[in-house]
Amino acid sequence: MRSVQNKHIAGRLHVCITFCGIYEKDFGTEYCVALLIVSFKLKQSRNKMVAGRLALVTGAASGIGKATCRLLAHKGATLVAADRNPEGIAHLIKELNMTAHGDQKHTGVSIDVSDDESVRNALLKVLEHHNQPPSIIINNAGITRDNFLLSLSETDFDDVLSVNLKGTFLVTQTFCNSIVNHGIKIASVVNLASIIGKYGNMGQSNYAASKAGVEALTKTTAKELGRLGIRCNAVLPGFVDTPMTQAVPDKVKNKFMPLIPMGRFASPEEIAEVIAFLASEKSSYVNGASIDVTGGF
């Protein structure tokens, strides 16, 4: 009973300090002041999930990447939006800077995550603009080249693994080395894997293999870098309404809908919320985890 009363008191103190006089009579001045301080700190904590931090998002020009950039920027992070689509990045950065506040100055960078030199050049540009590496890294860049196993070309297999798996490795290795060299003690890497990497899917042997590799890479990264203050976790989306899935024929998508208990695809914004949680210190003891976001699939 006392616990319920305390929550009620704390809530009202949070809304209006003038109520403190009412509760002071019953509980004393020190108790009311303590509750007021706790309430204020909780509000600060909520408002500063990622505020003031520099965040890199790859594959930022569309879909989950774009939604993640918008959400992190809204929560106070400064964004480095990375993609090999310069026009898409330019539009996004213009949008983000129109609503920027405080010290936020969002930037875009061209990157081919499958190419080591391109990744290293992207880091140099980030350091030039921001004088520090990002302490939040979202490895979201990914592609598909679907075909049945017996017909899949070696080129299509290699391309998917080069972007999805090798790209995640290159970005993580390059930027985490810089994080360590700059003495940053709190950092978070969030890798976009896929539920397909766990269960497989017809016509996507290359994609499934690449995303299974991302999940394994995530767990190993967490074990190696956790002692350095760098957490690494994976998000495993199910079917999401993005440009990638919009290219899938409706008859194929309709076959999967009955397998999703929630009866719909996710929105990119719903995946972004989970990414933002893992990027923030709200998840400070979450490391090496894989979180399914599938609607129950």
CA–CA distance, 94 with 96 (Å, rounded to integer): 6
155, two tokens: 């080129």
Per-residue model confidence (pLDDT) at position 12: 43
Residue 64 contacts residue 242 (beta carbons within 8 Å): yes
Per-residue model confidence (pLDDT) at position 204: 95
27, two tokens: 């509980």
Residue 35 contacts residue 6 (beta carbons within 8 Å): yes
The residues annotated as belonging to the active site are: 207
- Work out the burial of residue 62: count CB atoms within 10 Å of its CB; fewer than 13 is exposed, 13-18 middle, 19 or more buried: middle
pLDDT of 4 strictly over 90: no
pLDDT of 236 strictly over 60: yes
Per-residue model confidence (pLDDT) at position 27: 58
- Give the model confidence (pLDDT) of 95-104 as tens digits: 999 999 888 9
Per-residue model confidence (pLDDT) at position 24: 53
Q: Indicate the DSSP class of residue 99.
A: T
Rounded to 5 degrees, what are φ and ψ at 183?
Answer: 75, 20
Per-residue model confidence (pLDDT) at position 246: 82
pTM greater than the 0.75 cutoff:
yes
Place of tokens 């006392």: 2
Per-residue model confidence (pLDDT) at position 181: 98
Domains of the chain, by residue range, sit at: 2-44, 51-293
CA nearest neighbour of 213 among 235, 198, 233: 198
pLDDT of 25 strictly over 70: no
The whole-number average pLDDT for the span 224-235 is 98
- Give the model confidence (pLDDT) of 34-80 as tens digits: 555 544 444 444 445 899 999 999 999 999 999 999 999 999 999 99
The whole-number average pLDDT for the span 139-148 is 97
- Give the model confidence (pLDDT) of 108-126 as tens digits: 999 999 999 999 999 999 9
Per-residue model confidence (pLDDT) at position 245: 83
- Give the model confidence (pLDDT) of 241-267 as tens digits: 998 888 778 887 888 899 999 999 999
CA nearest neighbour of 133 among 145, 141, 125, 142: 125
Q: Give, in words, the CATH class of 51-293.
A: alpha beta
> How many other C-beta atoms can be found within 10 angstroms of the C-beta atom of residue 134?
26
Per-residue model confidence (pLDDT) at position 196: 97
